[in-house]
Each structure stands twice: as C-alpha cells, then as structure tokens.
Structure 1
C-alpha cells in the first residue's frame, strides 16, 4: 500500500516519440509546398506588391488559404508538434486577412466615407428622416402650446441648469442678457466639451432606443423638441424671436440636424424590425443596422462641429445677423452635402465573404 503512493510515473517510450515525430514530418512534407506558395503570396500582398504576383497564384489564393485552414484543423485534431501548429496558425491568420479582411486603411476608409458613403446612407433612409422631422416639428408645437396654456409647464419641460435666467416672468432686458456673447474665450473649451458630451448622449439614446421598434425614439424626439418649443414661446413673448433664432442657429442647424439623423437612424432600425417583409427580423435588423451605423458615424462628426460652434462661435460673435449667417451657411452646407454628393460605386455592395469566421 505504501509503495503505491510512490509509484513511478509512466514514461513515454522512445518509440512512441519517434513515431509522433515521423508523423509530423510526413504531414509537413506532404503539404509544405502549398504552404510556402501561400506564404509567398501573402508576403507580397502585405508589402503592397500585388503586381509581382502572377495571375495563376492570385486565382489560387482562396484555394491555398482553405487548404492551409484544413491543415490547421488536422494539426489541432492530431496534436502535431508545437512548431508546425504555431506556423500554421500564423499563416492562416495572415492569409485570412488578405482574403477576407478590409481592403483599405483608416485614411482610405475616411476618404471614402466623407466622399459619398455617408451621404448615400443618409439618402437611403429618407423616409425615416421625413417621419423624424415631422415628429420633431410636432414636438416643438406641443412644447409651445403647453406653456402657452399654462406657464407651469415650462418648469416641467426645461431643466433648471438649462434655464440660466430664462424663465417665465423675466423681462426683456434679462432675457436679452442671456443671449449676449461672452467677453473672453477663457473656459470655452470646457464648455464646448460639455456640450458635445451632452448632445452625443441625446443622439446615442435616439439611435439605441430604435431597437424597441422605434417608439421610444419618437417619444425622445418629442420631449427634446418640446423643450425648444417652450423656450421659443418664452422669447417670443418678449419680442426676441429673431435674436433667439439667431442665437440658436449658430449651432442649432448642425446639432438639430444631427439629432434628426440619429432619430431617423434609430427609427429605420425599429421600422425594419416591425415590418421586416420577406426577411427574418434578425436579417432585417442586421441590414438596416449597417446602414444606420454609417449615419451615426457621421453624426459624431456633426456633433463635434456643433460643439465647437456652440462653445466658440456663438459666444464670440456679437451680432444676431452674424450668428444667423453662420447658421444659414452651415444649414446650406449640410443640405448640399447630403443631396449633391455622388454615391460611391461600391456603396451598395456588402462584403458577404467577411462574415466567414476567422480561424
């Protein structure tokens, strides 16, 4: 019994080790030519030298990749030596990137995105943009009518930190003072960063809530625009409609446009899930989600610009005419960009082969 506790561990016979080594060498020798050919093609592609690859090798690239992937699966199953396994894993990973990976770098993607892909995605969801715009206009009217009927609604709609002296009962001079530009740019960087973060949160919520069939997105748009309607009522009552519109337009034409597109993107996803047509709900959500994600990526750029305009231009430009001019120019720019930018040739082509699992 005591001897059993000190039993000597089993030692693999040298014959078994030699057999495993021979099996691994034979496996590699039978396939090494294809591996080396694949490695040479991949290396040239990684060095951006596709012209040095002949047509036959280029056509054989997918076949060679699948052979290497098959060899990797066999190597893992039969527990071949670690060196062969590591070599195959590296080769297959590199080949996968060349066969199925992205064909352009970050700068190339950004050039293509701003050169028409973003605007094309926006035009693709035109119906959702029309619906979201109608809801935003209705929300503004709701806010105006509520506070016009009972001023107490103003305090329910407009957050306290957003009031800043803008409240029912304030005289014209007090309201006009809230629209005056600052005398210094000190601290505007922090203010612009805060505004960007706040507006980004609204846009993300408008988009994310679209997955609940778009209904929460519509409610969020109504609520946010009701705040604007309440403030418009307040300044209109003091005869400051033009001053307030100019003050708001500096950043509002960009910011509200971004919120509009974010809400439309969320509504696009929700509408495709509610009415998927012949496709399944998951397939419809996936297709619309890719298009909506393109729109949302562009909204981030718009929000950065809106934050800079709100934090700097609105505070430093002293006249209502100057502010309104900035807002009008930005609105014209966005409309022209989204309507006139040509569609990329390959915008509608989805890379279906990229869905294949990476080894």
Structure 2
C-alpha cells in the first residue's frame, strides 16, 4: 500500500513543477523586460555618447551630454549591479558589462595615447617634475660635492684608501704609483669604433642600475640614497686625486666632462627623486604617510623615466665621442654643450601644464 502512495506523491510533485517552472520562467522574463524598458533609454543615450567619444573625443560631445555623462555612467553601473544580484537574462547582463566597461574607460581612463604622452613628457612634464623637487636636488648636490671632497681627503691622507673606494674592475692601470704615461694612456682614444656599441650597452646597464638603486632606496627616508651618492662621489674624488697628483687634472676633467655632465646629472636627479620620497614620508604634513609617499612617488617616477633617457645619452657619449675624440678642448666643448642643454631644459625652459579636460 505504501508504494502506490509514494508513487502518486512523486507524480503529483513532478506535475506541480511542470506547471510552476514555465510560470517562473515567464515571471523572470517579465521582470527582465520591465527592468530593461525602464532604463533602456538611459543606456542607449550613454552608449551613443561613448560611441562619439571613442570616435572623436570630447570635441564631438554636446555640453548637455557631457554634463549628463557621469550620471548616466553611475546609472548604468547601478543597473549592472542589480542585474547581477537578481540574475537577469544573460543578454542584458552582457550588454551592461560591455557598456559600463566602455563608459568607465571614457570617464576615468587615460586621456593620452603613447605618442601624446611622450610629447607632453618631453615638452614640459619632465622639466616640471624636476623643478618641483628643487630642494631635494640642492640637498643631493651638496651631498655629492661633499662625497667627492671626502674621497679626495681620504686618499690624500692615506693612499690605501684608494683601493677601498675604487673597485678592482674600475681601477685597471689607474692606481697610486702609476706613471704619468700609464695614466695618460687610460685617457686616450681608441682606434676605430669596433666594439663600442656593446661597451655602450654595458655602460647604460651599469649607470641605470646605480640610478634605479638610488631612487628605490628612498623609501627608507632617503638616507640610503644619500649614502649611495656619497660612496659614488668618494670614488670620483679618489680618481681626481690620482690624476691631479700626476699633473693630469685638466685632462681627466676633460675626459670626464664628455659623459659626466650627463651621467652625474642623471645620478643627481635619481638621488634627489629617492630623497624626495623619503623626505615626504618623514614630513608628510597634514597628509598620511601613504598619501604623501604616493604623491612623491608619482613625481619621482616621472623624473626617473627621464633619468633613464639621460643614461642612454651618457652611455652613447661615453662609448663613442669620449673614445673617439682625443682633444682636450674638444672634450670640454662636448661636455659644456650637454651641461648647458640640461640646465636650460630643466630650469629655463618652461611650459604650462595642459588644462584638465573631461568630466
């Protein structure tokens, strides 16, 4: 008796589900249609505005549509949220996801393409960022000059300090006790330019590594960045003493100026950018430490992009003009030209920031 009863209950259950399932589907479809009909006009208007922006930017948008764009975007985003929560039909959900994504890019996405960004960077953005960290540049310059003086004084008192400051791979024949002829040979030129391109690549890698390290160490309140500057300039001070003691101070300065006015300037900016981050974290003012670090980090990153460009230029100068131009006067002229160019670009050339556009 129990088996027939159970069978009847199962049959009744399936019969009831067959009736309710189409009803549920119809109800869901009705809710989806009503939801779409109530909001579709706003979606279509937003889609039309976004399509015009994608084709021609803001110039093709009327003022009324431009003012309505943020509201229409928020409406579409809210509709997408509701559609996800209530499991509306897949077509509506896919349409809203695509629309919101496109609208987000137009409202909040970047306004400049690669070439437009590069043009703005070279024609004002980089120099503005450098001028904004002028105080850190002054501090870093003072530290670098002090480091060179310290290196000079250390080797003057004890020549053994030269070996402690100068790595073996950089010393080569440049060492205390070397003859004037040996030292002069290290300042000479190479016959031909074979192998100089690979030498340039090596120099760029080495110099860029020093600059990036000086910038990256800024998070520790800038102290490691300053220490790195002191160490590198102490090495230079030791070399200055070595060549000056052999009566080759002018020749060494000319040899160094070819690439040094660019390379040392780049190292100065890298150290200043790292110090800028560290100083803003140590003295955030009314901002939080994270907010201060984020702001200074973005500014420092702009400076560092330019520093990489300077390291490329310095590597080229070190590998080619310095190795192929042997005249002391000619070397001084090359160094002076690049020093004047960088100073003019950073501190004399000024261009206002582009006006902000968009909603």
State if a TM-score over 0.5 links the two structures. Answer: yes
Aligned match for 2:44, one of 32, 36, 54: 36
Change (3 A) 1:51 1:122: closer
Q: In the alignment, does 2:180 pair up with 1:172?
A: yes
In structure 2, the residue matched to 1:195 is 203
Matches within 5 A, 1:102-251: 102-251=110-259
- Please say if residues 115 and 341 of structure 1, whose CA atoms lie closer than 8 Å, have aligned partners that are also in contact: no
Matches within 5 A, 1:282-301: 282-301=290-309
Cα deviation digits, residues 33-66 of structure 1 (max 9, x gap): 1111111111111011644433221211111111
In structure 1, the residue matched to 2:4 is none
Change (3 A) 1:51 1:285: closer
Return the alpha-carbon distance in structure 1 between the equivalents of residues 304 and 224 of structure 2. 17
Cα deviation digits, residues 183-241 of structure 1 (max 9, x gap): 12111111111111111111111111111001111101000111111111111111111
Cα deviation digits, residues 143-176 of structure 1 (max 9, x gap): 1111111111111111111112111111011111
TM-score by length of 1: 0.91
Matches within 5 A, 1:319-358: 319-346=327-354
- Please say if residues 140 and 225 of structure 1, whose CA atoms lie closer than 8 Å, have aligned partners that are also in contact: yes
- Please say if residues 181 and 316 of structure 1, whose CA atoms lie closer than 8 Å, have aligned partners that are also in contact: yes
Return the alpha-carbon distance in structure 1 between the equivalents of residues 73 and 271 of structure 2. 43
Change (3 A) 1:156 1:51: closer
- Please say if residues 117 and 344 of structure 1, whose CA atoms lie closer than 8 Å, have aligned partners that are also in contact: no
Change (3 A) 1:214 1:25: same
In structure 2, the residue matched to 1:97 is 105
In structure 2, the residue matched to 1:73 is 81
Return the alpha-carbon distance in structure 1 between the equivalents of residues 194 and 29 of structure 2. 73
Which runs of no fewer than 5 residues in structure 2 stay unpaired? 1-13
Number of equivalenced pairs: 343
Return the alpha-carbon distance in structure 1 between the equivalents of residues 45 and 164 of structure 2. 71
Which runs of no fewer than 5 residues in structure 1 stay unpaired? 1-9, 354-359
1:165 aligned counterpart, secondary structure: coil
Max radius of gyration: which structure?
2
Alpha-carbon distance, 1:180 to partner: 1.0
- Please say if residues 255 and 331 of structure 2, whose CA atoms lie closer than 8 Å, have aligned partners that are also in contact: yes
Aligned match for 2:283, one of 256, 275, 284: 275
Change (3 A) 1:115 1:32: same
Return the alpha-carbon distance in structure 1 between the equivalents of residues 215 and 183 of structure 2. 34
Return the alpha-carbon distance in structure 2 between the equivalents of residues 80 and 288 of structure 1. 45
Cα-Cα RMSD: 2.0
